[in-house]
Amino acid sequence: MDSAQVLIVGAGPCGLTAACELLRHGATVRVVDAHPQAATGSRSIMLWPPQLAILRDHGVLDEALELGIRPEAFTYSTAKGRLARFRFAGDTTPLILPQHHTDRLLEQALNALGGTVERPARVTGLVQGPDEVTAQVTGGDGESRTLAAPWLIGADGAHSTVRALLGVGTTRTQARSRFLLAEGNLTPAPTGSDVEYVLTARGGLVVAPLPGDIYRVSGNVTDTGDPTEDAVQALLQQRYHHDPKISDLTLLTHFVSEEFLVHDMRVDRVFLLGDAAHSHYPVGGQGANLGMQDARNLGWKLAGVLGGRLHPGILDTYGVERRSAARQILHMTGAVTRVALLRPPWNGVRDILLKSVQGIPAVQGWYTAKLAGQKTAYPNTTLGSPAPGRARRPGRLSPAATVGRPAPAWARSEVVSSSYRLVSKGPAEQSTLAVRAGRLARSHPVATHEHVSGPREECVLIRPDGYVAVAAATPDLADIDRLLTAVSTTRPALTR
């Protein structure tokens, strides 16, 4: 597709999500990946409800649910036994699904939308002009060719070529941790489907169930030699409160984890997302999820600008919002990791605190909601939410953007929409609030209106990515009017 509006570099879950989101909002894309075939292996294994909503919207959620496992809880233990168990509710329950399945399902969705992935195609150079980005690409035959598009997305992972070619700076922490990772059979196998974090004076250990009755075992180590099955067995014996035998390994590797965040997620006509833009400690499977939400945030905005519906300035909110989200995740994963790896005597204090909070419902709910992305909030931006304090929910996901308990009627969206949804609520369909909301939506081409029954009156403006932009509890809809006027490329029409 030589006339594609967006060139996407990288066909992992983040690049594929970006391609699918752009296509469903009306843009055209070209996807290239440096590898000769789709990557294999489990890699990222956990999808939280907002990411399951992406799979739902692209028609592949049912197959994902059939392939994956829904864990009941995260359990924190010591080598002597359990400290705390945080159970998931319906709208916070993740899905354990090896990444090669996620990649395949998203590529399947891409194909259904008319897109394909070109492999192998390695980007070796970038030049930005006033109206387009030109990429030098080398194919499997060694021949080099030039691809050009008005916009480019770098989703090519932690060792991103696009980021390096742009020369984007990063903020990195000094801490780097080395982890041993293995997958195979455990005998005897743990009971239940919990993901277990074992915290000991020697370090941490994660034991997670995978589809096919195998388990992932991972722990921080100081050994820099080649990983061995004996080393994995030693980790289990030293840190696990059971004494299982690991065998029939399907994966055995080392990896180094570090924290970094790029200074800019947009450089002129190039956007960075996923691991190309940020990295964090492997806590709670947040990596692919953070990147897939980068893609969802950018997709509707860029497609709206390309389609002439949205003001180009809305693209400036991408980096502001997603860097804020990344900082929130880095803060959480860093804090959890540092607490998990505490040494004596502080680990004893940690253990006492964990035991004391596990029975408090408010703490249980807050922590699982935090992991599930429900506490991630966007800051105020010129073309984003109104100033903090002006509404109850701006900057947070609406219930329609998660998969779990049924969303309230006001939050549901039965069809894919590239418009803002202005939803009025209240007992009377022809109330002053509902009438004004309908009139306001008709005056803005980027908005639609619907009314749902509810015990009290309220008006909620929901963005195409499922985030609440404005919530108003009175018939004064000035904040909503101002935001829709700011994001639109057309002046509001006067309607009666």
Please report which confidence band the pLDDT of residue 222 belongs to, taking 50, 70 and 90 as the band edges.
confident
Domain identity same for 273 and 417: no
Return the amino acid letter for 340. A
Domain count, the chain: 2
What CATH number does residue 290 fall under?
Answer: 3.50.50.60
Domain identity same for 46 and 151: yes
Least confident stretch, 207-211, 248-252, 291-295, 372-376: 372-376
Domain identity same for 36 and 137: yes
Domain identity same for 331 and 423: no
* Residue 330 forms part of a structural domain: yes
Q: Which long-range contacts (CB under 8 A, 24 or more apart) does 162-165 make?
A: 162/9, 162/123, 162/126, 162/270, 162/272, 162/276, 163/262, 163/272, 163/276, 163/277, 165/123, 165/125, 165/126
Domain identity same for 298 and 404: no
DSSP, collapsed to helix, strand or coil, labels residue 486 as helix
What CATH number does residue 477 fall under?
Answer: 3.40.30.10
Domain identity same for 414 and 330: no
Last residue of a domain, one of 306, 336, 366: 336
Q: What's the chain's average pLDDT? A: 89
- Cα 424 from Cα 426, distance rounded (Å): 7
* Residue 116 forms part of a structural domain: yes
Domain identity same for 315 and 417: no
* Residue 303 forms part of a structural domain: yes
* Residue 206 forms part of a structural domain: no
Residue found under tokens 């609440």:
468
Nearest to 310 by CA among 390, 419, 409: 419
Query: Pseudo-torsion of CA 229, 233, 238, 242, nearest 10°?
Result: 150
Domain identity same for 324 and 417: no
Return the amino acid letter for 285. G
Q: Which domain holds residue 475?
A: 399-487
Domain identity same for 31 and 116: yes
* Residue 47 forms part of a structural domain: yes
HSE at residue 330, side-chain half, CA atoms within 13 A, is 22
Domain identity same for 131 and 16: yes
Domain identity same for 43 and 167: yes
pLDDT digits (tens, 9 = 90+) for 280-337: 888 888 888 999 999 999 999 999 999 999 999 999 999 999 999 999 999 888 888 8
Domain identity same for 149 and 296: yes
Q: How far from 437 is each of 75, 352, 461, CA to CA, in Å?
A: 46, 52, 10
* Residue 332 forms part of a structural domain: yes
Last residue of a domain, one of 336, 360, 386: 336
* DSSP string for 344-358: TTHHHHHHHHHHHHT
Whether the per-residue pLDDT at 12 is higher than 60: the answer is yes
* Residue 468 forms part of a structural domain: yes
Element (H, E) at 204: strand 203-210
Beta-sheet strand order (sheet of 468-472): 447-452, 420-425, 458-462, 468-472
- Cα 97 from Cα 288, distance rounded (Å): 12
Identify which has the larger pLDDT, 382 or 283. Answer: 283
Last residue of a domain, one of 307, 336, 365: 336
By CB atoms closer than 10 A (0-12, 13-18, 19+), residue 387 is exposed
Q: How far from 317 is each of 162, 230, 478, CA to CA, in Å?
A: 21, 50, 21
Whether the per-residue pLDDT at 392 is higher than 90: the answer is no
Give the global pTM. Answer: 0.92
Please report which confidence band the pLDDT of residue 388 belongs to, taking 50, 70 and 90 as the band edges.
very low
**Phi/psi of residue 96, nearest 5 degrees:** -85, 115
Tell me how crowded residue 169 is: count the other CB atoms within 10 A of its CB: 10
* Residue 346 forms part of a structural domain: no
Listed in sequence order, the DSSP H helices in 113-205 are 161-166
